């Protein structure tokens, strides 16, 4: 099973972009590659991952100082203070002010750094979730692909049996005409043939439904033909295969994107707790600004004209300040946020352990299924070979009059069932 996981992951993540829609036959790798390129769920998850990436980048940029520029223009009417003389005046005048201010956080209880770490882990979890979605879609395509192949192969088996019944029908008709066979045998074989025709119709409908499901998972155009490549017999299965669940589980914990995503989410929740704790610390900020302006008064107190440049220079002022904010009491809001963050962390740990437990049981179940189905395949292969020989013998005995029609069809049905079981176990093993 470990080899199967590796092969599937390599197949999924080496998906090429040169899929030719008009190709004659589609292999499993072709179907998976097409699904990974065209599946809308993957595209949607990719957009979400990009959002996480932008949040992470913005969290890093939040450490930079903030700078703001501003300007205003006003007209004063009636009683006001002359900006040049500072005397009370009733003259109208215009003013235009400019400002440039900025600030930077010197200390915030390490909230910025923890916020960066939080967004980073969320982004990494998003990447792993996107990979995991690709793996899940790959498995869905694989499952639908083998289901379609099963019904396609079953159609061939039913057709062979139907063709054999048609040949026997013609033979019995001729024998009945010359009195070598009874009329009851003719009616019996016609009834059997009608059952096989009905079975063929049902199998063809099942194949169409399974092929439609494969197209749906691939996001393949419904009206386009999809011919699947046949899979050769799994001759490499010489004996039942046994996998150790513990070794596969260790491999899964190390490589599966779903596990990595859970671990990154746990780290993100841990950093969210650190962010909440940072609200208990004092905050220290450094700020500064530059302010100036001009007025429509063109003269000073001596009557001398004042230029635009001189007004901006003479009216300029600067400020630098440091502010300290200490949390004293805010209705226990900070403490409540910390408690909720702790509970979220505990829940995330429990969810992770539960996920690992379910994953182990799933792997153990798959390992048992692999061992069972490999043994079933070998037995089905032997059974098919035996029933093939038995049917050939039954045909010869029927021609010699040593077998009746019921015994022949019993042997024929045993062969058909064995062939169907061989096909099923082969595809399940693969």
With 80 as the cut, is the pLDDT of residue 353 above it? yes
Of the candidates 212, 162, 207, which has an alpha carbon nearest to the alpha carbon of residue 189?
A: 162
User: Residues 114-141: what's their mean pLDDT?
Assistant: 96
The Cα 75–Cα 98 span in angstroms is 15
Domain 2-38+117-281+332-429 CATH superfamily: Outer membrane efflux proteins (OEP) (1.20.1600.10)
Bridge partners (DSSP) of residue 70 are 99
The reported pLDDT for the residue numbered 17 is 39
CA torsion sign for 251, 255, 256, 262 is: positive
Lowest mean pLDDT among 99-113, 159-173, 213-227: 159-173
* Confidence grade of residue 32 (pLDDT, cut at 50, 70, 90): very high
With 80 as the cut, is the pLDDT of residue 105 above it? yes
With 60 as the cut, is the pLDDT of residue 13 above it? no
* Confidence grade of residue 240 (pLDDT, cut at 50, 70, 90): confident
Tokens encoding 212 = 């439609």
Residue 232 DSSP label: -
User: Residues 195-203: what's their mean pLDDT?
Assistant: 91
User: Residues 360-367: what's their mean pLDDT?
Assistant: 95
Lowest mean pLDDT among 28-37, 71-80, 210-219, 394-403: 394-403
Show the DSSP H helices in 219-307 as ranges: 245-255, 257-278
The reported pLDDT for the residue numbered 15 is 44
Contact 383, 421 (CB under 8 A): yes
Question: Following CA atoms 415, 420, 423, 425 in sequence, which dihedral angle do they give, to the nearest 10 degrees?
Answer: -100
With 70 as the cut, is the pLDDT of residue 7 above it? no
Contact 119, 52 (CB under 8 A): yes
* Confidence grade of residue 132 (pLDDT, cut at 50, 70, 90): very high
The reported pLDDT for the residue numbered 20 is 44
| pTM to 2 decimal places | 0.80
User: Residues 94-106: what's their mean pLDDT?
Assistant: 92
The reported pLDDT for the residue numbered 21 is 46
CA torsion sign for 194, 199, 202, 205 is: negative
Model confidence pLDDT, tens digit, residues 265-306: 999 999 999 999 999 999 999 999 999 988 775 555 566 667
E strand or H helix at 223: none
Tokens encoding 58 = 């913005």
The Cα 195–Cα 206 span in angstroms is 17
Residue 178, φ and ψ in degrees, nearest 5: -100, 5
Burial class for 118, CB neighbours closer than 10 Å (0-12, 13-18, 19+) = buried
Helices (H) and strands (E) in the chain, counts: 10, 6
Per DSSP, the three-state class of 101 is: strand
Model confidence pLDDT, tens digit, residues 260-275: 999 999 999 999 999 9
Q: What is the mean pLDDT of the chain?
A: 86
Contact 162, 200 (CB under 8 A): yes
Interacting residues of 427 by C-beta distance below 8 A, sequence separation 6+: 146, 149, 150, 153, 231
The Cα 417–Cα 384 span in angstroms is 9
The Cα 43–Cα 286 span in angstroms is 44
Burial class for 144, CB neighbours closer than 10 Å (0-12, 13-18, 19+) = buried
Contact 203, 161 (CB under 8 A): no
The Cα 73–Cα 135 span in angstroms is 61
Question: How far is residue 147 from each of residues 336, 350, 393, measured CA to CA in Å?
Answer: 53, 36, 33
Buried/exposed 396-406: b ≥16 CB within 10 Å, e otherwise: eebeeeebebe
E strand or H helix at 191: helix 183-218
Q: What percentage of residues in the chain have a pLDDT greater than 70?
A: 85
Tokens encoding 272 = 């969210």
The Cα 373–Cα 427 span in angstroms is 10
């Amino acid at each position: 099973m470990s080899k199967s996981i590796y092969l599937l992951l390599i197949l999924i993540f080496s998906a090429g972009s040169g899929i030719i829609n008009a190709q004659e036959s589609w292999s499993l790798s072709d179907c998976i590659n097409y699904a990974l390129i065209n599946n809308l769920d993957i595209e949607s998850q990719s957009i979400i991952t990009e959002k996480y990436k932008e949040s992470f980048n913005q969290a890093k940029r939040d450490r930079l100082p903030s700078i703001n520029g501003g300007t205003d223009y006003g007209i004063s009417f009636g009683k006001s203070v002359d900006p040049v003389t500072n005397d009370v005046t009733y003259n109208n005048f215009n003013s235009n002010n400019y400002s440039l201010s900025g600030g930077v956080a010197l200390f915030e209880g390490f909230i910025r750094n923890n916020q960066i770490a939080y967004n980073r882990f969320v982004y990494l979890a998003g990447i792993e979730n996107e990979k995991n979605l690709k793996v899940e879609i790959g498995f869905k395509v694989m499952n639908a692909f083998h289901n379609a192949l099963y019904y396609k192969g079953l159609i061939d088996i039913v057709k062979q049996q139907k063709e054999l019944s048609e040949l026997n029908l013609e033979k019995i008709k001729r024998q009945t005409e010359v009195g070598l066979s009874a009329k009851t045998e003719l009616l019996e074989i016609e009834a059997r043939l009608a059952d096989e025709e009905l079975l063929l119709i049902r199998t063809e409908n099942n194949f169409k439904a399974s092929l439609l499901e494969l197209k749906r998972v691939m996001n393949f155009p419904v009206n386009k033909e999809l011919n699947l490549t046949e899979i050769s017999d799994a001759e490499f299965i010489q004996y039942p295969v046994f996998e150790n669940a513990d070794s596969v589980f260790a491999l899964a914990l190390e490589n599966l994107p779903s596990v990595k995503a859970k671990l990154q989410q746990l780290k993100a929740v841990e950093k969210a707790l650190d962010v909440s704790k940072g609200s208990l610390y004092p905050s220290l900020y450094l700020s500064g600004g530059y302010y100036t302006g001009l007025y429509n008064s063109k003269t000073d107190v001596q009557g001398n004209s004042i230029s635009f440049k001189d007004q901006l220079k003479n009216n300029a002022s600067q400020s630098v300040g440091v502010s300290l904010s200490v949390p004293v009491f805010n209705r226990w809001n900070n403490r409540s946020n910390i408690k909720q963050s702790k509970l979220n962390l505990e829940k995330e740990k429990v969810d992770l352990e539960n996920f690992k437990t379910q994953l182990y049981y799933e792997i153990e179940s798959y390992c048992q299924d692999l061992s069972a189905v490999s043994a079933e395949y070998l037995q089905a292969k032997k059974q098919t070979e035996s029933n093939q020989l038995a049917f050939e013998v039954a045909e010869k005995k029927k021609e010699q009059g040593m077998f009746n029609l019921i015994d022949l069809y019993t042997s024929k049905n045993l062969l058909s069932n064995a062939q169907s079981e061989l096909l099923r176990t082969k595809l399940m093993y693969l």
